[in-house]
Amino acid sequence: MIEKTNVAWTEKYRPYNLKDYLFSNDKIETRVNNWLKKKQFPNLLLYGKPGTGKTSLVRMLCNELDIDQCDVLTINVGNDSGIDLYRSKIKVFAGTMPFGEFRVIHLEEAESMTKKLMDSLKSEMEDSARYCKFVLTVNDPSKIIDAIKSRCVTLDFDRASSDVIEQVVIKLEAVLNAERIDYDREDLAEIATDSHPDIRKALIELQEIYDIAC
């Protein structure tokens, strides 16, 4: 019997490079490949339901471009959305010269920002454009002001390619093969379909079934 692990499969099998990342659609894949060839990317607004790969894409981009961890600042705005966040963290980080080519500020749950914070962020995106990239990940893009949207390339993670279910099944197969667990492919297809478009949910359900089976 395979020994159980307390490590969440959503973290254990989170993609950190291009070959392991599961793209929602061809448009996102094409753009990302172009950015990797150019070794840079613009300000980004990534939107879609939870679990669709927005944060994983940011981490994968930074990893593939060999961006120093000291040049990446990730903030969950849901925990701190006021103007003090801008003054104490964002402005200071964006105004510091990078160790590499540029710095990256990743704002998770960015729709939680106050209007005052968004206005300040809009100006900062202009002032620090040469050395800092901003990536906003949101579930609801309608809550982001137009002035910020106009300064970002937007990617829709809810627009899924027709073969995405099959890709998720292949991903689940790879996980179970790595864990040396027997499986029925029809069961994986059912998990992928029921969880769509939430890939994280599919992995959570898969691990739950595995734990019960063991």
93-131: per-residue pLDDT in tens?
999 999 999 999 999 999 999 999 999 999 999 999 999
Q: Which helix (H) or strand (E) holds 153?
A: strand 153-156
Sheet-wide strand order for 72-76: 72-76, 103-108, 132-138, 44-47, 153-156
Question: Does residue 133 contact residue 58 with C-beta atoms inside 8 Å?
Answer: no
Check if the beta carbon of residue 43 is closer than 8 Å to that of residue 135: yes
pLDDT tens for each residue of 6-36: 789 999 998 889 999 999 899 999 999 999 9
Q: Is the dihedral of CA 165, 170, 171, 175 positive or negative?
A: positive
* Helix (H) and strand (E) counts in the chain: 10, 5
Choice among 83-92, 96-105, 133-142 with the minimum mean pLDDT: 83-92
SS3 (DSSP) at 108: strand
Find tokens 């279910």 and name the residue: 165
Q: What is the pLDDT of residue 81?
A: 64
Q: What is the pLDDT of residue 106?
A: 98
Assign 210 a pLDDT band (cuts: 50, 70, 90): confident
